[in-house]
Structure 1
């Protein structure tokens, strides 16, 4: 089941009320989480431009007033959802790195590439939303996409220093590698083959090792 995306059907229970209601802070967190999952699901299905506030609140089963209490609008909600997804991806990559700490360059790169591809495959809506739709959200979306890619480039620079060449090269070197990976992932996503992303593990590992050795 997706962690980052989902709609809440009308038959699903709403948030607890009355004596069993959630603490206000917990209720707010649940509502924000519903809205973020809903915007990712809507954007993945309809595209960013075609997604409306109505699409988001209907999927989240919250009111418009809750939407505007928690977020400035569609863009604010979408960017928050993408950032939450980025944090999940980074956490899973970091866990994979910890498990192979001290290994060879290939071992470390294979571990993080596998974690990344498996997470992308397990979260197809988030993957489609950030890879294909984030730039459609205007300048703020482009900046968020750049931060997403720059974070991966910084990680590769760290791996290069610790496991590869022993030095940090210009950041553009790593951005080029990240861009190539993103292009291959994007092609699978555009083809509707998100579940097949793990098959890219060998190719991406070979390319990354060649560039960082």
Structure 2
């Protein structure tokens, strides 16, 4: 499962063909690991982290218990892999926004950033649920990873808005926290339309705030 193709996990997890398939051992191991990661994400949507058992993951992934424990030490270890995949997917989407931006896009780069963030969550609701909702049931290590990702998102916002002072950076941290709370609530209830609808009011909130969040020259769309 490549970071850019997790959307494929919305359907049944593809299994290796029976008999001789011509794949190398590394390819087989990678396929098995990807199927387990996707299966756990899907199982948590249905049952939550606490209610997801290793047996349920095996059933969905179509692998043996032996194969699971060759890849992961425990359910918590498997969750860590799912979380890393979800976080990397999100960070890749945000990085793509900056890479494809032209000079004409500069006044609207906050809109592009928030649009990419919200669209990425809406496109991958199972993985969004992993790091926004189920992470809090997975123990202190998982929560620490969530805090680190939240800090990274705040840094991206600060960079986007040209935040230079301590006050502006703190304002960007509060904005990231508010966005996190609002998107978590919508992911928790499956409100994907409401999730995408957050973009415009959030952008307008920043536009109305002068240089509270940073020194970016803003040009609201008509």
TM over 0.5: yes
Residue 3 of structure 1 corresponds to 7
2:22 & 2:9 partners in 1: Cα distance?
24
CA contact under 8 A between 1:7 and 1:60: conserved in structure 2?
A: no
Are 1:207 and 2:205 an aligned pair?
yes
1:83-98 matches, cutoff 5 A = 83-98=84-99
d(CA) in 2 for partners of 1:16, 1:207: 53
RMSD of equivalent CA atoms: 2.3
Q: By how many angstroms is 1:172 displaced? A: 4.4
Residue of structure 1 equivalent to 2:182:
184
* Paired residues of 1:15 and 1:21 also in contact (CA < 8 A): no
What's 1:80 paired with?
Answer: 81
Q: Deviations over 1:28-87 (max 9, x none)?
A: 111111011011111121111111001111111111111111011111111111111111
- Could you say which residue in structure 2 is the equivalent of 1:113? 114
Q: 1:39 to 1:4 in 2, by over 3 A?
A: farther
Matched position secondary structure for 1:49: helix
In the alignment, which residue of structure 2 is the partner of 1:125?
126
**TM-score scaled by structure 1?**
0.86
Query: Please, what TM-score do these two structures have when normalized by structure 2?
Result: 0.83
1:29 corresponds in structure 2 to 30
Q: How far is the alpha carbon of 1:17 from its aligned partner?
A: 5.0
CA drift of 1:5 comes to 4.0
Task: Find out whether 1:59 has 2:60 as its counterpart.
Answer: yes
User: What is the match of residue 142 of structure 2?
Assistant: 141
Offset at residue 20 of structure 1 (A)? 2.3
| Offset from partner CA, 1:76-122 (integer Å, 9 cap, x none) | 11111111111111111111122225456651111011011111111
Deviation at 1:129, TM superposition (A): 1.9
Q: Is the 8 A contact 2:86 2:130 kept in 1?
A: no
Which 5+ residue runs of structure 2 have no aligned equivalent?
216-222
Match of 2:157 in 1: 156
2-structure distance, mates of 1:57, 1:7:
16
**Contact 2:118–2:196 (8 Å) recurs in 1:** yes
TM superposition shift of 1:168: 5.1
The answer for unaligned runs of 5 or more in structure 1 is none
- The answer to whether the 8 Å contact 2:87/2:131 transfers is no
* CA distance 1:30–1:203, shift in 2 (3 Å): same
Separation in structure 1 between the aligned mates of residue 8 and residue 136 of structure 2, nearest angstrom: 19
Alignment deviations for residues 4-42 of structure 1 (CA, whole Å, 9 cap, x no partner): 745747xx6x31354423111111111111011011111
- The structural deviation recorded for 1:3 is 2.5
